[in-house]
Amino acid sequence: MHFKLIIALVEDQKTSAILDAARKAGATGATVLNQVRGEGIKAAKTFFGLNLETQRDMLMFLVEEHMSRDILECISAIGKFDEGPGTGIAFQLDVEDAVGVNLQISKLSEVVEDKL
């Protein structure tokens, strides 16, 4: 079984909705890192040295490769990433190898066989 790592950088108020949507699309879990910071094309605005940007979370999903695109599109739709600057971003990376995923593999095997 081959995996992809989906990384999503999202506004913190959208984290729960994106986690729920990803799970419905087939993700078996996620790791959430709170209070990450990013900067896009335009520099972040400040007011007397204080950042005016919204707080971000980084969500990481280790998913089966045949399910990854559906999950990625679902995350994008719920996060409304293409509706304006600063709404979020998600991307996927190939995973060479993974350990500690035996429980997920047994659950995913049934789902992936149906997709193939």
Spatial separation of the C-alpha atoms in residues 36 and 25, rounded to whole Å: 25
pLDDT of residue 59: 97
CATH number, domain of 45, equals 3.30.70.120
pTM exceeds 0.75, yes or no: yes
The token pair that represents 79 in the structure block? 């996060």
**Residue 84 domain boundaries:** 3-115
DSSP assignment of 63-103: EEHHHHHHHHHHHHHHHTGGGSTTSEEEEEEEES---S-HH
Between 69 and 36, where is the model more confident?
69
Q: Which residue has the higher pLDDT, 23 or 107?
A: 23
How many separate domains does the chain show? 1
When pLDDT is cut at 50, 70 and 90, the band that residue 58 belongs to is: very high
Contact between 12 and 96 under an 8 Å Cβ cutoff? The reply is: no
Least confident of 18-22, 43-47, 81-85: 43-47
Average pLDDT value for residue range 77-95: 90
